[in-house]
Structure 1
Amino acid sequence: MSSSTSRRSSSDPNSDSDSKLPLRPIPGGYGLPFFGAIADRFDFFYNQGREKFFKSRIQKHKSTVFRTNMPPGPFTASDPKVVAVLDAVSFAVLFDNSKVEKRDVFTGTYMPSTDFTGGYRICAYLDPSEQKHRQIKSFLFWMLSSRHGQVIPLLRSYLSELFLKLEDQVADKGEANYNSISDNELFNFAFRFYCGKDPTETNLGSSGAKLFELWTYPQLAPLGSAGLPWYFFPINVVEDFLLRTVPFPAWLLKFAHKKLYHAIYSSALEPLDEAARFGLTREEACNNILFVLGFNSYGGFKIIAPTLLKWVGLAGAPLHQRLAQEIRAAVKSEGGVTPNALSKMPLAKSVVWETLRIEPPVPFQYGKAKSDIVVESHDAAFKVKKGEMLFGFQPVVTKDSRVFEKAEEFVGDRFVGEEGEKLLKYVYWSNGRETEDPTVENKQCPGKDLVVLVLRVLLVELFLRYDTFEIELGTPTLGPSVKVKKLTKATTTS
C-alpha cells in the first residue's frame, strides 16, 4: 500500500456524493485597462514568481477559482483576462470538450505565427471538433504504434552512450552536466524514432538539438524570463519590452525551419508515404512531424529527464536501494529489459508518476468556454460566461492538499498499491488524466505512453548500472539544471 492516501473532497465530481455546492461570484479582477495586465505580469515574472503569484491570490480571495491576467498581453494584441482554476476538481473542466474549446490555445492567450510551421496550423493548435485534428492525430497514432516495439532497444542504445559520457565527465572533472549530455542523446533517440535515421546522417549533423531549440524558443518567448528579482527593475523592464511587445518575426528563423524540415522530409519516408491515407499532404505531415519531434518529444524530454534525475537524486540512497533491488530482480526474472519486466516494477512506475505530478513538464493549460457553464471547485460553484478563457497552472493543481497528503513533498511510492493507483486520476501532466487514454476526440498528448515508457527505461538503465548517485542543482532554465557529482557503480545485479 502506498505511504500516501487520498484526501478526496465530498465535492469531487468523481466521488459517489451527489452534493450541491453553493453558487459563488468569481472573486478577483483584472485591474485598470492596460495597466492591470502589466502589473499582474510584473508580479508573475519578477516580483513574486509563478507559484507565489497564484498561491498569494488563492489566499487573498480564499478561493482556488478567481479572475486574473496572464502573460503576455496586452502588447501582443492578445486578451490576457482569464478565470484561473487551481484545484484538482475545477482544473478537470479543461479536459471536458463539451464545455471548452481548445482552438489556438496551445501556448495560451496568444498564438505564434504559422510561419514557424510552414504556414500550417499544426495539431496542437486544433480543436477536436475540427476534421483536420482527427486526421493529423490519427496519423500520429499510426506513427507511434508502428514504432512501439522499437522504443526499448533503440532507447537503451542511446542511454548507454549517455551514461558512458556521464562517467567520463565525472572521472575527468569531478562532475558532469547531465542536461547537455541528456539533451543530445535523447534528441538523437527522438529523431531516429520518428525518422528512421540518426540525425548525424542528415544535413543536421551534430547541430540538430541546438537548431530545434533555436526554432522553439522564440515561439515561447512571451512566456519566458531570465528570472532576475524585482530589484533589477530597469533590466526587467527592458526584458519585458523585448519579449512581450511584438511577436518575434518568424522570417528571422526561416533558415532553421527549412533545414529541420528538409532533414525530416528526406528521412521520414515511410510516414510521409502514408500521409495521404489520412488525408494529409506530405508537406503538412512533415510540418506536424517536425513539431511533434521538436516541440513535444525533444522539448518534453529536455525538461522531464533532468526533472526525474533531480527528484530521484534528492530522495537519496534509501530510495535508490529500493529501486535497484526491484529493477534488478525484475530484469533477472524476465531475462532482460522487456515490457513484462517493466510491468513488475511498481515502485519505478510510481517514481515516474510522482515526478510528473510534483513538477509537470507543461505547467499551463487553457480552454475557452463554449457556452455559459458552471465550474465546481472543492467548496463552491462558479458561473463562467461563454467566450471566457479558463486557465490552470498544473504545479499548483497537482499539489492540491485536499487530494494528496504531503502534497509538497516527493513521495516515491505514492502511487504503489490499490489505494495509490486511485490517485492517478489526479495526475494531469498530459493534458488529461493519467487514467485516461489519448483519442482523436480529446486533446490529450498522443505520445503520453511514450513519455512514461522513456522515463521508466531511463530509471531502469540508471539502476542497472549504479547503486546510488549524488547530484547538485544549478540555476534552472527550461526545467532544472542538474550536475552529477558521484556515480557509485552497481555491486550486484540481482
Structure 2
Amino acid sequence: MASSLPIAQSAAAVSGSNLPLRSIPGDYGLPLFGAIKDRLDYFWLQGEEKFYQSRVEKYNSTVFRTNMPPGPPLAKDARVICVLDQKSFPILFDTTKCEKKDVFLGTYMPSLDYTNGYRVLSYLDPSEERHTKLKQWCFDLVKRNGRNFLPDFHTEIEKSMDLWEAALAKGEKADLSQEVQVFAINFLLRSIVHRDPAAPGEFSLGRNAGAFSSAWSNPQLLPIAGATGLPHPVEEVLHTIALPFKSVKEQYDAIFNFIKTYAADELREAAKLGIEKNDAVTNLMFFISFNGYGGFNIFFPQLTGYIAKCGPELMQELHAEVTAAVAATDGKVTPKALENMPLLKSVVYEGFRFRPPVPYQYAKAKTDFVIESHVSSFQVKKGEMLFGYQPYVMHDGRVFEKPDEFLPRRFMGSEGEELIQNVFWSNGRETEDPTVQNKQCAGKDLVVTMSRAYVAEMFLRYKEFTMDVEGSGNALKLFFSGLKRA
C-alpha cells in the first residue's frame, strides 16, 4: 500500500482554499459495461489493493472517479468519487455537507426482509427522527451494561482457551477463527440481553449464536465481498444476484426470538423512547450480531496474527505489562488495569490503523462543496457519492512513518498519542465522540476497550503462542499451533 503521490498543480485557485483547483480525474466508462469492467478489475483482474493503487498512479491523484461493486443490477448507480488520503477522507464524517441515508454498504442496500422490514440505525441519516431515538438508546444500553462487559468477556474467552488447550493436548490445531465466533457474541448477549445463550430453554442458541449471526450477516455482504473460497464464477454470481432472505430465515428467527424473549429490560427502555418493540428487537440484533460481533469476528483474529508475526519478544513484553498491571486489581482485567498498559494500547490502535475492521465508508453530497487532498482541491456536486477505502487512508505516508509496517509502539509517548487522531476506523476520528448528530459508531469506546481486553486476557494466560494460517481473504482461518502458559 503506497502513500499519496504528488499531483501536478493547476493554475486556478479556489476561494477559501490555498490549494489549486483540479477537475476530479477518472471516468465511469460506458453505461453498465464500465461498472462491470471495474468490478472485474476489483475482484479478479487486480484485486482490492492494486485496484486503488493503479488508479492513484494513473491519475496522479488520491481523489478520482470510478465505479464500486457490486454495480448493476444490484446497484442502480455504482459511480463514486474515491477519497484516499488523510486530508480528503474526513469529509465522509461531515453531516453538514454529506448525507448518510441508506449508504451503510455503499451503492447497494440489502432487502429490508433481512431486517424485519425496518431501516435499521446504520442506514439512517442523523436528520431522521428514528436515528436520534435509536442511537440514544444504543448509548444508554452500553452505559447501563458497562459493568458487565469485562467480567462476561473473561467468562466466555476462558471457555475457548480451555478448548484450545484441549485440542493441542490431543495433537490437533486450536481453531481461533471458530472460537471467536463463539466468545465474541456470547459475551455481548450475556452482557446486554442478560442471558447465557447456551443456557437450556426454548430459545437456547447453544454454541451457535455466532454461526447463526454469520449466516444472517454474510448474504447482506456477499455482493461487495471477495475471496470467499468459492470458485470465481460462483463468486461473480453472488456479486450479481442477491440471495433471498428465506435462505437464512431459520437462523435469523433463532436470534430474533432469543433477544425478544430475554432482553425485556432493554426493550422496556426502548419503549420509553417511543421505539416500537419489533423495531427495537431488530436494531438490537443488528447492533449485537452485525455491528459488534461482526467487527470482533474480523478484528480479533487479524490482530492476533499481527502480534504473532512480531514474534516472541513483543509477546513477552505484553505478558509482562499485563501481569504487572493486573497485580494491582486482584489479578483481573479491569478498566483501571487496562489504562496501565501503554504498549498493549498502542498495539491495538496499530491494529485498527493497519487494517480497520470496517474498510469502507460512503456518503452522498448534500450540496456543492470543495474537498482537498494534500496537494489539490476538487469541486464536488450535490448528489454525488463519495467513497473512502480506510486501509489505504490509514497507510498515508504523509501522516504515518513506515505506513506499510506494523509497528507495535507507533502510538506510545506524546508523539504517538498525537497520532491517534488520525485513526478513523469508527466513522469518525478516534479522538472525537459519537453523538446522535453524527454517524460515528455508538459503541466506539466499547469496541476499543474490548479489543484491549482481548489482548490482555490472552497475555494474562499465555506468555507466547505460534500460529498457522489457512486460506486467504474472507476465507482466511487462523489456528494456534502452540500456546505457552504463563
Bin for the TM-score computed over the shorter chain:
over 0.9
Q: What does residue 4 of structure 1 align with?
A: none
Other-structure match for 1:13: none
- Post-superposition shift, 1:207? 2.3
Equivalent position of 2:278 in the other structure: 283
Match of 1:267 in 2: 262
Structure 1 residue 254: Cα displacement: 2.9
Rounded to whole Å, the distance in 2 between the matches of 1:304 and 1:237 is 28
Amino acid at match of 1:333: A
Is the CA contact 1:100–1:368 (under 8 Å) kept in the aligned structure 2? yes
- Matched residues in 2 for 1:174 and 1:256: separation? 30
The CA distance in 2 between the partners of 1:283 and 1:250, in whole Å, is: 18
- Return closer, same or farther for 1:330/1:206 CA change in 2, 3 Å cut-off: closer
Q: Find the residue that maps to 1:478 and give its secondary structure.
A: helix
Match of 2:443 among 440, 443, 447: 447
Report the CA distance between 1:265 and its aligned residue.
Answer: 0.3
Q: Which amino acid aligns with 2:226?
A: S
**Which residue identity is paired with 1:350?**
S
1:203, 1:452 → 2: CA distance?
A: 29
Cα distance between partner residues in 2 of 1:437 and 1:163: 34
22-31 or 464-473, larger mean C-alpha shift: 464-473
Structure 1 unaligned segments of length 5 or more: list them: 1-6, 10-17
- Report the alpha carbon displacement of residue 19 of structure 1 after superposing the two structures with TM: 6.8
In 1, distance between residues paired with 2:228 and 2:180?
24
Q: CA deviation digits over 1:115-157, x for unaligned, max 9?
A: 1111110000000111110000001111100000111111111
* Corresponding residue to 1:374 among 370, 373, 385: 370
- Name the SS for the 1:192 alignment partner: helix
| One-letter identity of the residue aligned with 1:222 | P
* CA drift at 1:412: 0.5
Corresponding residue for residue 113 of structure 1: 111
Are 2:162 and 1:158 equivalent residues in the alignment?
no
Separation (CA, whole Å) in 1 of partners of 2:291 and 2:358: 10
Out of 305, 312, 315, the position equivalent to 1:317 is 312
Relative distance call for 1:123 and 1:479 in structure 2 (3 A) is farther
The aligned counterpart of 1:74 is 72
Query: Which one of the candidate residues 248, 254, 258 is aligned to 2:253?
Result: 258
Out of 357, 360, 367, which is 1:364 matched to?
Answer: 360
Alignment match, 1:191: 189
CA distance in structure 1 between the partners assigned to 2:102 and 2:442 by the alignment = 18
Q: Following the alignment from structure 1 to structure 2, what is the Cα–Cα distance between the partners of residues 274 and 434? A: 28
| Contact map agreement 1:45 1:227 (CA 8 A) in 2 | no
CA contact (8 A) 2:226 2:474 kept: no
C-alpha displacement of 1:430? 0.8
**Residue 351 of structure 1 aligns with which residue?**
347
- Which amino acid letter does the alignment assign opposite residue 411 of structure 1? L
Measure, in 2, the Cα distance between the counterparts of 1:342 and 1:222.
39
Tell me, in whole angstroms, the C-alpha distance in 2 between the residues paired with 1:249 and 1:406: 44
Q: Distance in 1 between matches of 2:476 and 2:240?
A: 28
Question: Which secondary structure state, in structure 2, belongs to the residue aligned with residue 173 of structure 1?
Answer: coil
Within 5 Å, which residues of 2 pair with 1:55-134?
A: 55-134=53-132
Match of 1:219 in 2: 220
- Distance across 2 between alignment mates of 1:416 and 1:78: 46
Q: Distance in 1 between matches of 2:111 and 2:31?
A: 26
Q: How far 1:174 sits from its partner (Å)?
A: 4.5
Three-state SS of the structure 2 residue aligned to 1:138 is: helix
- Secondary structure (helix, strand or coil) at the match of 1:266 reads helix
Deviation string, structure 1 residues 285-333 (Cα, Å, up to 9, x no partner): 0000011111011111110110111111111111112212211111113
Q: Verify the 8 A CA contact 1:310 1:480 in the aligned structure 2.
A: no
Residue 309 and residue 369 in structure 1: after superposition, are their counterparts in 2 closer, same or farther (change >3 A)? same
Residue 407 (structure 1) aligns with: 403
Deviates most, 481-490 or 31-40: 481-490
Distance 1:286 1:35, change over 3 A: same
Cα distance in structure 2, aligned partners of 1:349 and 1:451: 13
Matched positions, count: 469
- 2:256 maps to amino acid: Y
CA-to-partner distance for each residue in 1:69-111, whole Å, 9 max, x for gaps? 0001111142100000001111110001111100000011011
* Matched letter for residue 455 of structure 1: S
Question: Partner residue of 2:240?
Answer: 245
Q: Displacement of 1:238 after TM fit?
A: 4.6
In structure 2, give the amino acid aligned to 1:258. Answer: D
Q: Is the 8 A contact 1:75 1:244 kept in 2?
A: no
Q: Secondary structure at the match of 1:382?
A: strand
Q: Which amino acid aligns with 1:297?
A: G
| Separation in 1, partners of 2:280, 2:474 | 28
Q: How far apart, CA to CA, are the structure 2 residues paired with 1:245 and 1:334? A: 53
Q: Residue type of the partner of 1:327?
A: V
* Structure with more contact order per residue of length (Cα contacts < 8 Å, sep ≥ 6): 1
Distance of 1:180 and 1:243 partners within structure 2: 24
Structure-2 change in CA distance of 1:301 and 1:433 (3 Å): same
Summarize deviations over 1:423-454 as a string: whole Å, max 9, x none.
11111111111111111111111111111111
Unaligned runs of 5+ residues in structure 2 are 7-15
Residue number in structure 2 paired with 1:333:
328
Partner SS, residue 125 of structure 2: coil
User: C-alpha offsets along residues 374-418 of structure 1, whole Å, 9 cap, x if unaligned?
Assistant: 111101000011000000001100011110001001000100111
Identity of aligned residues (%): 46
Does residue 208 of structure 1 match 2:203? no
RMSD of the alignment, in Å? 1.8
One-letter amino acid of the structure 2 residue matched with residue 183 of structure 1: Q
After superposition, the Cα gap between the structure-2 partners of 1:479 and 1:192, relative to the gap in structure 1 and judged at 3 Å, is: farther
> Which residue, 35, 38, 54 being the options, matches 2:36?
38
Q: Which amino acid aligns with 1:20?
A: N
- Counterparts of 1:385-400 in structure 2, within 5 Å, are 385-400=381-396
Q: Which amino acid aligns with 1:76?
A: L
Query: Retained in 1: the 8 A contact 2:24–2:63?
Result: yes
TM-score (norm 1): 0.92
**TM-score scaled to structure 2, two decimals?**
0.93
Q: For 2:259, give the aligned amino acid.
A: I
In the alignment, residue 255 of structure 2 is paired with which amino acid?
Answer: L
CA–CA distance in 2 between the matches of 1:27 and 1:136? 39
Tell me, yes or no, if structure 1 residue 49 matches structure 2 residue 47: yes
Match of 1:171?
169
- Following superposition, the deviation at residue 282 of structure 1 comes to 1.1
Match of 2:428 in 1: 432
What are the superposed Cα offsets for residues 151-182 of structure 1, whole Å, 9 maximum, x if unpaired?
11111111111211111112212421111112
